[in-house]
Chains A and B, each alone.
Chain A
């Protein structure tokens, strides 16, 4: 199934050699199609290749087999059309909040006045209107991730890739940020792929939820969920009261639990 629109991942495999002579099959035969504007969360035990997948989509890694196409053209390297939000520490601490957010447009050579407008607007949107001239190291972890989101959006990418962007935040901040991600998704209509370790986050922030399995990294199961749409205008705590929510949560948790058990079993067998 190939269409010219959206993100196509065709038969993607990734295998690399280790220094000790062995090799790792990080991904095997991954096929995926994302329509423009879709929000997909990716979940899986550690070592299932989800970060590798994201890095290949971003263009930081070249797959050994298969290819990725965005709007019809093959991905060969990093580019501004695929923005990325990292867990933490990816902001430029030598720049102010404003300079960080304006970085992408500045690289493109956008006129200063225009950058200023975009940055002002975005920082207001993410709730940092009062912190525009601050240094990033003066901000809390949650605020820094707001800056990271705004910086990514300022570049107006087609796809936003998020690598556990909320992983290092405390529970309360995380919940607020989850609402913000949903709000931004709805307002901007971007295609978003979000990697997370948290089953709850994956449920709340995924129209589609991909569960990956390790060794070799592959798509284990995919869900289509209503919670992200609900969360756009509802409190996330209300969304969690949805009858399907608890059931799906248990189902996915035990699925991942089983995979982890299996990994542990294999490791014990090896040693």
Chain B
């Protein structure tokens, strides 16, 4: 099969998935529109704002009239947690909001068997379904007096069980006995019947396959409830994860980012200045920088591991390389972006080259360098997590990778949330630093 046909069939798979997801997307959008409608009605009862924006008659298409509606933001975040809780049966939500969950409790059905001589007998099956993580309960069954004995089965929610109904009977399938009806509905091998909370199928070989109703909630191993993630946070924060405390995992990741970025900036900024100030340096490094910049730092991981191993040095080399080109390009842009009239003005005010550098070029390039630093920190954070996914003893990425191998989905989700929160905090911190350090940004 050629690559082309392979890709086409992949594309069809993807399209099929997309079509499957589409109703959910549409539902989500409808939910957004619904809350918008409710918000509009609610707003009518509030004191109207009388600011300048509220007096604009043209808002559709006026970019400045569109500011982020904080009510929508709040609802959006709350909704994510509500949906999460609703599909996982969270204890934090009133059970009215829960999606139908997997069936738990007692159920049962009767079946009819036909013997080779044409006579029929009835027996019952008692089913107990217990939740994941609970201890499997004991079930005692009154087998009854008839030759087809009553059966009992204990099943974990989301699982199914094969029942050899003839195991305790006085005759067996080998003798030619077969099930012909479930709860009075006739059934053939390979068929299935739905009784309350159960799906009962007869396999081609005649065994019963009992599957309790799964509902539409997610199984905890796919998506744990929010409180499970919180409990796991408390557990990992106090007891640690894989020999290291949570703060150690996160601290190591942060340490790598900060040290890698620091060295990247330490080399990258002077390199960028040299490229911005000297044609020889620009010519020398342009091909190198322009080539290395589009190479994703992640692609360097294998080489860095070969050269420097999986220890701290290797990680810091990787982050150094991730930050280096970004900082060099930012510093170069900062120098090149200096308005020539500022330099001319400084020269005709008697400044020397060194003074031009110190008082004009460096401060003028600071806004660009800060923008570069923000980008570099973001890239470094992404790179460190990826590098830890590949190989590490500690770190946020290692934490979620190891957890995924043990299907500890709660740790994975917790890790993703923490990684996201830290990335967001880094960006906020950089913005704040930018505001304090270069208040003139964009106002020259």
Q: A: which residues have CB within 8 A of B?
A: 58-60, 77-80, 82-84, 86-87, 89-94, 103-104, 107-108, 135, 137, 148, 151-152, 155, 157, 161
A155: nearest chain-B partner, CB-CB: B349
A137 CA / B441 CA spacing, docked (Å): 10
A216 CA / B129 CA spacing, docked (Å): 98
Docked-complex contact B348 and A107, CB < 8 angstroms: no
Nearest chain B CB to A166 CB, angstrom units = 15
B442: nearest chain-A partner, CB-CB: A137
The interface size bin for chain B is: 20 to 34
B443: nearest chain-A partner, CB-CB: A137
Nearest chain A CB to B361 CB, angstrom units = 11
Residues of A within 8 A of B360 (CB): 92
Known: A84-B344, A94-B440, A137-B443. 10 other contacts (CB 8 A): A84-B345, A86-B341, A89-B444, A93-B444, A94-B364, A94-B438, A103-B349, A107-B351, A108-B350, A155-B349
Residues of B within 8 A of A87 (CB): 341
Docked-complex contact B359 and A92, CB < 8 angstroms: yes
Residues of A within 8 A of B351 (CB): 103, 107
Knowing A135-B439, A137-B443 touch, does A90 contact B345 (C-beta < 8 A)? yes
Closest 6 CB pairs of A and B: A80-B350, A78-B347, A137-B443, A104-B349, A90-B341, A94-B363
Residue-wise, chain B 350-361 has the 8 Å CB interface mask toward A (1 for contact) of 111001000110
Name the one of B339, B348, B355, B443 contacting A58, with C-beta atoms under 8 angstroms.
B348
A60: nearest chain-B partner, CB-CB: B344
Nearest chain B CB to A75 CB, angstrom units = 11
Nearest chain B CB to A13 CB, angstrom units = 22
Docked-complex contact B366 and A84, CB < 8 angstroms: no
B360: nearest chain-A partner, CB-CB: A92
The listed residue with most A CB atoms (<10 A of its CB), out of B344, B348, B352, is B348
Knowing A86-B341, A103-B359, A107-B355 touch, does A93 contact B347 (C-beta < 8 A)? no
Docked-complex contact B350 and A79, CB < 8 angstroms: yes
Docked-complex contact A92 and B363, CB < 8 angstroms: yes
SS class of chain B's interface: helix, strand, loop or mixed?
helix
B346 at the binding interface (Cβ < 8 Å):
yes
B342 at the binding interface (Cβ < 8 Å):
yes
B367: nearest chain-A partner, CB-CB: A94
Residues of B within 8 A of A161 (CB): 348
A-B contact count (CB 8 A): 77
A152 CA / B346 CA spacing, docked (Å): 10
Knowing A107-B355, A137-B444 touch, does A92 contact B350 (C-beta < 8 A)? no
Docked-complex contact A78 and B444, CB < 8 angstroms: no
A60 CA / B345 CA spacing, docked (Å): 10
Docked-complex contact B359 and A90, CB < 8 angstroms: no
A155 CA / B349 CA spacing, docked (Å): 7
Residues of A within 8 A of B364 (CB): 92, 94
A161 CA / B348 CA spacing, docked (Å): 10
Residues of A within 8 A of B341 (CB): 86-87, 89-90
Residues of A within 8 A of B347 (CB): 59-60, 77-78
Docked-complex contact B440 and A135, CB < 8 angstroms: yes
A89 CA / B264 CA spacing, docked (Å): 32
Residues of B within 8 A of A79 (CB): 348, 350
Docked-complex contact B348 and A84, CB < 8 angstroms: yes
Nearest chain B CB to A9 CB, angstrom units = 17
Docked-complex contact A93 and B440, CB < 8 angstroms: yes
A-B contact pairs, 5 of them (CB 8 A): A58-B344, A58-B348, A91-B342, A93-B440, A94-B438
Residues of A within 8 A of B363 (CB): 92, 94
Residues of A within 8 A of B348 (CB): 58-59, 78-80, 82-84, 157, 161
The listed residue with most A CB atoms (<10 A of its CB), out of B339, B351, B352, B355, is B351
Nearest chain A CB to B61 CB, angstrom units = 29
Docked-complex contact B366 and A94, CB < 8 angstroms: yes
A58 CA / B345 CA spacing, docked (Å): 10
Residues of B within 8 A of A84 (CB): 344-345, 348
Residues of B within 8 A of A152 (CB): 349
Nearest chain B CB to A35 CB, angstrom units = 21
Docked-complex contact B342 and A89, CB < 8 angstroms: yes
Name the one of A86, A108, A148 contacting B344, with C-beta atoms under 8 angstroms.
A86
Name the one of B342, B349, B366 contacting A107, with C-beta atoms under 8 angstroms.
B349
B355: nearest chain-A partner, CB-CB: A107
Residues of B within 8 A of A91 (CB): 342, 345
Residues of B within 8 A of A89 (CB): 339, 341-342, 444
